[in-house]
Amino acid sequence: MNHQHDMRPIQKHPLNVRVFHYLLLLSFLPLAATGLLLFFKPLTQEAMQLTYDIHIIAGVVMAADCVAFTLMAFDRVLLFTARVFSFGKSDLGWFKVLGGYPQKFLLGKKVAVPPMRKYNSGQKLFGACVLIGGTLLVFSGLVLWLMPHIAPREAVYLLGQVHLVAGLILTAFLPVHLFLAVYRFDDFKAMMLHGNVPYHDAAEYTPLWVEKEVVPVSGEKGC
């Protein structure tokens, strides 16, 4: 069936996920910026102190956001975990052509890409890094902020290094994520506004998700 102009809405990002993502966006952007400033220390002492204070406040917001979402939407966290850690032959195929993006951007060519579920292989890799890196950042950040004086020195040093490496990796992912998020504009609107993608967009980018996981709302009991 051709879904080229099918605009029927599919709910992709429910409200709780969108609220979690808003808070993550509001906290992680200042965290990345202040984190880089804290690493390179280019400012005066007073400005560095202000940078540190902003980093702490934004860190508390992010930690509270992550803990609250994990407790309140544990099923969604588990589903996300299961999705990002699944790996198969189609992922290998996706990575071989990098989702067809370089060919599209650099050569103007369209190449065949293995069909994907809700997240493509690149998003899954990013999701796994966010899940592991985010957990490490929250945990190490809380220890470094709240108990550096009572924790053993070598543990504080190790957690400081973990915080630095995880922060730099996730910050490096950020421009790529922002660019591709805006490039997939239907998905961008879904995450930032109403939660829904048009059927044609889902069928083009995430055909297996549409085929195996998406159901009509009126057809499901309790919806």
Partner 1 sequence: MNNKPYLFAESRFLLSRRKFIALGGAFVAALALPVGWFSQKLMQRNDYIKARSKGLYRDDATAMLRVSHANPAVEKYYRDFGGEPLGHVSHELLHTHFIDRTRLKS
The answer to the question of residue 144 lying near partner 1 (CB under 8 A) is no
Question: Which among 15-23, 50-58, 131-139, 179-187 is the span making contact with partner 1, rule CB under 8 A?
Answer: 131-139
Adjacent-strand bridge partners of 11? 196
Tell me the HSE value of 181 on the side-chain side, using a 13 A CA sphere: 14
Q: Which of 98, 100, 103, 139 binds partner 1 (CB under 8 A)?
A: 139
Phi, psi dihedral angles at 9 (to 5 degrees): -80, 135
The verdict on 218 binding partner 1 (CB under 8 A) reads yes
Q: Quick check: 199 binds partner 1 (CB under 8 A)? A: yes
Kindly state whether residue 152 participates in binding partner 1, applying the rule CB under 8 A: yes
Question: Residue 99: which residues within 8 A CB-CB, separation 6 or more?
Answer: 113, 120, 121, 122
How many Å apart are CA 128 and CA 78, to the nearest integer? 12
Question: 71 to 100, contacts with partner 1 by CB under 8 A?
Answer: 74-75, 77-79, 81-82
The backbone torsions φ and ψ at residue 148, rounded to the nearest 5 degrees and listed phi first, read -70, -20
Nearer to partner 1, 51 or 163 (CB): 163
Can you tell me the distance from the alpha carbon of 42 to that of 162, in angstroms, rounded to the nearest whole number?
22
Task: Examine residue 9 and tell whether it contacts partner 1 (CB under 8 A).
Answer: yes
Q: Nearest Cα to 21, choosing from 58, 61, 65?
A: 65
Nearer to partner 1, 46 or 220 (CB): 220
Query: Residues touching partner 1: how many (CB under 8 A)?
Result: 34
Min separation Cβ 154 and partner 1, Å: 8
How far is Cα 202 from Cα 57, in angstroms, rounded to an integer? 37
For 11, the enclosing helix (H) or strand (E) is strand 9-11
Give the side-chain half-sphere CA count within 13 A for 201: 17
Please, which residue, 44 or 220, has the CB nearer to partner 1? 220
The Cα–Cα gap between 167 and 3 comes to 41
Q: How far apart are CB 163 and partner 1 at their closest, in Å? A: 12
Per CB under 8 A, does 193 bind partner 1?
A: no
Q: Minimal distance in Å, beta carbon 113 to partner 1?
A: 22
Residues near partner 1 (CB under 8 A) are: 8-11, 74-75, 77-79, 81-82, 118, 135-136, 139, 143, 147, 150-152, 155, 194-196, 199, 213-218, 220, 222-223
